[in-house]
Amino acid sequence: MKNILVTGGAGFIGANFVLYMLDKYPDYTIVVYDKLTYAGNLDNLRDVENDPRYAFVQGDICDAAAVEKAIKAHEIDTIINFAAETHVDRSIMNPDAFVQTSVYGTYVLLEAAKSLGLERYHQISTDEVYGHIPAGYSSKEGDLLKPRSPYAASKASADLMVNAYFVTYGLPVTITRGSNNIGPYQYPEKVVPLFSTNALDEEQLPVYGDGRQTREYQYVVDHCEAIDLVLHEGVLGETYNIGTGEDIENLRMVEILLETLNMPHDLILHVEDRAGHDRRYSLDIGKIKALGWNPRHTGEEAIVKTALWYKDNEWWWRKIKSGEFRAYYEAQYGKRLRDAGEE
Ligand code: NAD
Ligand code: TYD
């Protein structure tokens, strides 16, 4: 593994992963292959743009010819696929691009890895493929996939195709399933950056339903370390959960965030719930721990660190929130906020 194609590397986790890998491995080269959808942002990669070990190619993972060209031109031996449409609420409004990218796009990458004889294909997946998990249980890698949103279903489909390429063609694959990542460069549609930036602007925080849903909020660099470990020590054909083992209620996450930013609790506004909202995800992380990984941050530490990053990096999010985002915000929240009696 030396020349890595990071698809979706201009997004949140992909960019953090590129920064992490270039810092850790002086002899690796990384090519980011990214369509630059609304969520892709070259500002995320500003720190490495002049690094000779880094290159950027704008392209769609559904475009087989462009994928093959990039792999050949850069003598790629490994693909790590972060590319996806990633926001559950957008998948409810319009699932089409989710299916295109995660289902067809993943197939295109797998086919390229097979036909060009690559050393490794790694798929970035999510805890959402297991669906809602009742209290007292944590998902194991071999559990049935029961995705419930169009986003989760598109990601589960991709995992199944990755597994099919391992079994049928012997393609050297691995899969990791992360929990809710937070940290620098996350598009402010996801809850922690949305609420941090809204709070900084003294705007209301639209909490879905009763706010008693739980998530495992994980610091993104911890996730990157685990992916690195699986790339180097993981068993081919295997899947590894990467979480924190710690449930945090959304209302508790909001409290930590508001206390960190020193903003008042009356910014919280309960609004109409998300359709089909999964109340709980929970990962059993015994398998990745046995490989030698442990999270470095608790959920609370991750939330504090993330909220402070948004406080200190307005240069990054202000231009996003004033662009395409405004139309999205109105479509997603306008009626909900009015119905909930926003002042
Ligand atoms: P993101 O939305 O911030 O970034 C996605 C990136 O993929 C963007 O740069 C976008 O331009 C690119 N992209 C989208 N469609 C593409 C296409 N057709 N061709 C090429 N590039 C395309 O997402 P993220 O939060 O960084 O998530 C990255 C991966 O991690 C996704 O596969 C997601 O399902 C998975 N994941 C995310 C989380 C999380 O909490 N954010 C948790 C677990 C797993
Ligand atoms: P999100 O960041 O969209 O991640 P996911 O749904 O993929 O886990 O949401 C995290 C949690 O926060 C989830 O329970 C939904 C909730 N949420 C709100 O209460 N209000 C919001 O405006 C958003 C975006 C999410």
- How do the pLDDT tens digits run along the chain, 343 residues long? 799 999 999 999 999 999 999 999 999 999 999 999 999 999 999 999 999 999 999 999 999 999 999 999 999 999 999 999 999 999 999 999 999 999 999 999 999 999 999 999 999 999 999 999 999 999 999 999 999 999 999 999 999 999 999 999 999 999 999 999 999 999 999 999 999 999 999 999 999 999 999 999 999 999 999 999 999 999 999 999 999 999 999 999 999 999 999 999 999 999 999 999 999 999 999 999 999 999 999 999 999 999 999 999 999 999 999 988 999 999 999 999 999 986 5
Q: Are 180 and 213 in contact (CB under 8 A)?
A: no
User: Which residue CA neighbors atom 14 of ligand 2 most closely?
Assistant: 213
Residue 16 CA to ligand 2 centre (angstroms): 21
Domains identified in the chain and CATH numbers: 3-182+218-242 (3.40.50.720)
Residue 32 CA to ligand 1 centre (angstroms): 13
Query: How far apart, in whole angstroms, are the C-alpha atoms of residue 60 and residue 7?
Result: 9
Catalytic residues: 127-128, 151
List all residues whose CB is within 6 A of at least one atom of ligand 1: 7-8, 10-14, 34-37, 39-40, 60-62, 82-86, 101, 105, 124, 126, 155, 178, 180-181, 187
Atom of ligand 1 at shortest range from CA of 40: 9
Atom of ligand 1 at shortest range from CA of 8: 7
Question: What percent helix, strand, coil does the chain show, rounded to 5?
Answer: 45, 15, 35
Which helix (H) or strand (E) segment is 3 a member of? strand 3-7
Q: Are 29 and 5 in contact (CB under 8 A)?
A: no
Is 57 exposed, middle or buried, given 0-12, 13-18 or 19+ CB atoms closer than 10 A?
middle
